[in-house]
C-alpha cells in the first residue's frame, strides 16, 4: 500500500506547483506573484515560467523572495515537440537546478523530462485534458511523478479535470501521484490565482524536504476542503475531513462508493469493489470545491 501522509512526521504545507510571471507570459513580476501567494496564506510556491527560446529559456530565480514562513521551489514549464494533437509538450518540472540546459534541437518531450528528472526535478504531466493528451502520449512520458488532475486555468475552457486519463494510467500499472494547480498567469481574462493547491507533508519548509515529499507522494490536492486523515482497516476506508457534503471512493473499477449529507466530517466506506487494485478519495464541500487524495494502492507491487 502506498504510504499515506497523515501520520508522517511534520505537518502539511500549502503550495502551488504551476505558476507564471512576466519572465514568460504572465502579467506580474516574480516578486508580485510571490507576494500574492504569501499573503493568501501559502507556505511555498513554484514559479514555472515557460522554458521557451522566445523568452530566453527562463528558470526564474525566486530565492530572493523567500522569507521566514514562506519558501520557493525553482522550476519551469518545459516544452518540446510533439504530442499527437499538439505541436508541443507541456511538462512541469519543479526543483530544477539553475543553469539547466535548454532543449536540444532534436530532443523529444519524454527525453527532456527524463533529463529534468535526472537533474533532481519533480515531473508533472501538465493539464492533460487541455493539451488533449492521448493514452499513448501519457505513457511515453515515463519520467512523470504525477499528473496535474485539476488545472484552474484550463477549467475556464471546460478542460480542467484530467482524472479520466489518470485512472486509465493507474489501471495500466503506472504509479503516479495526482496534484492540483492554478497555472496562474494573472492576465485580465484569467481566473484569479490561489484557487488550487497541494498540501505537502514534510518535517520542515526546507525546499529539499518538500521535493522529497512530493516525489514520495506525501501530499493531497485541494481547491478548498481539508483532508485530516485517511485510514484503511477491516475492509473499510475511513475519511476525516473538514465539513463536506459528499465523500466518494473511486478507483480501478467502474462505479464508486458515496456518502452524502450535511457537514460530514468522518465516514467509513467499503473497499471490496476495488479488489487488489487502487482507490482514491474525493471530498466535495457545500460550494462544490473538492479535495483529492493520492491514489492508494491496495497491494504492494
> What is the arithmetic mean of pLDDT over 155-175?
96
User: What band does 39 get if pLDDT is binned at 50, 70 and 90?
Assistant: very high
Average pLDDT over residues 13-39: 98
Sign of dihedral through CA atoms 260, 261, 263, 265? negative
Residue 1 has pLDDT above 70, yes or no: no
Q: What is the pLDDT of residue 274?
A: 95
What number is the average pLDDT over the span 15-40? Answer: 98
State residue 115's pLDDT score. 98
C-alpha cell at 7: 501520520
Locate the DSSP E strands across 61-151. Answer: 71-78, 91-94, 122-125, 146-151
pLDDT at 300: 53
CB distance 264 to 245 below 8 Å: yes
d(CA 127, CA 150): 7
CATH architecture of structural domain 227-297: Sandwich (2.60)
Convert the pLDDT of each residue in 210-234 to its tens digit: 999 999 999 999 999 999 999 999 9
Question: Among residues of the chain, what percentage have pLDDT more than 90?
Answer: 96
User: Residue 191: pLDDT band by 50, 70, 90 thresholds?
Assistant: confident
Cell 473499510 belongs to 236
| Polymer length of the chain | 301
CATH 3.40.50.970 fits 11-222, yes or no: no
Give me the residue spans of the domains in the chain: 11-222, 227-297
Percent of the chain with pLDDT over 70: 99
pLDDT at 64 over 80: yes
Helix, strand, coil tally for the chain in percent (to 5): 20, 35, 45
Q: What is the pTM of this model?
A: 0.97
Band of pLDDT at residue 301, cut at 50, 70 and 90? very low
**Which neighbouring-strand residues pair with 283?**
247, 291
Contact 247, 239 (CB under 8 A): yes
* Dihedral sign computed on CA atoms, order 118, 185, 103, 131: positive
CA dist., res. 19 & res. 33, Å (int): 8
| pLDDT of 299 | 76
Report, as an integer, the average pLDDT of 21-34.
98
Amino acid at each position: 500500500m502506498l504510504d499515506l501522509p497523515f501520520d508522517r512526521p511534520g505537518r502539511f504545507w500549502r503550495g502551488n506547483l504551476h505558476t507564471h510571471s512576466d519572465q514568460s507570459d504572465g502579467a506580474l513580476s516574480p516578486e508580485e506573484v510571490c507576494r500574492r501567494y504569501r499573503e493568501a496564506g501559502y507556505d511555498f510556491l513554484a514559479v514555472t515560467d515557460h522554458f521557451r527560446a522566445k523568452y530566453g529559456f527562463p528558470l526564474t530565480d525566486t530565492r530572493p523572495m523567500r522569507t521566514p514562513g514562506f519558501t520557493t521551489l525553482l522550476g519551469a514549464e518545459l516544452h518540446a515537440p510533439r504530442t499527437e494533437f499538439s505541436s508541443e509538450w507541456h511538462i512541469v518540472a519543479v526543483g530544477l537546478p539553475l543553469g539547466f540546459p535548454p532543449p536540444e534541437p532534436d530532443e523529444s518531450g519524454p527525453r527532456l523530462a527524463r533529463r529534468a528528472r535526472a537533474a533532481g526535478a519533480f515531473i508533472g504531466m501538465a493539464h492533460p485534458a487541455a493539451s488533449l493528451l492521448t493514452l499513448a502520449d501519457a505513457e511515453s512520458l515515463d519520467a512523470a511523478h504525477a499528473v496535474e488532475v485539476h488545472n484552474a486555468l484550463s477549467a475556464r475552457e471546460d478542460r480542467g479535470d484530467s482524472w479520466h486519463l489518470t485512472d486509465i494510467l493507474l489501471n495500466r500499472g503506472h504509479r503516479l501521484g495526482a496534484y492540483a494547480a492554478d497555472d496562474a498567469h494573472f492576465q485580465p481574462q484569467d481566473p484569479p490565482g490561489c484557487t488550487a493547491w497541494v498540501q505537502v507533508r514534510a518535517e520542515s519548509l526546507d525546499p529539499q524536504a518538500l521535493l522529497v515529499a512530493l516525489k514520495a507522494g506525501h501530499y493531497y490536492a485541494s481547491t478548498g476542503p481539508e483532508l485530516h486523515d485517511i485510514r484503511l482497516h477491516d475492509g473499510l476506508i475511513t475519511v476525516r475531513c473538514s465539513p463536506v457534503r459528499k465523500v466518494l471512493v473511486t478507483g480501478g473499477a467502474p462505479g464508486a462508493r458515496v456518502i452524502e449529507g450535511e457537514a460530514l466530517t468522518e465516514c467509513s466506506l467499503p473497499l471490496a469493489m476495488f479488489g487488489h487494485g487502487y482507490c482514491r478519495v474525493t471530498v466535495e464541500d457545500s460550494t462544490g470545491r473538492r479535495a483529492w487524495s493520492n491514489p492508494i494502492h491496495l497491494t504492494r507491487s
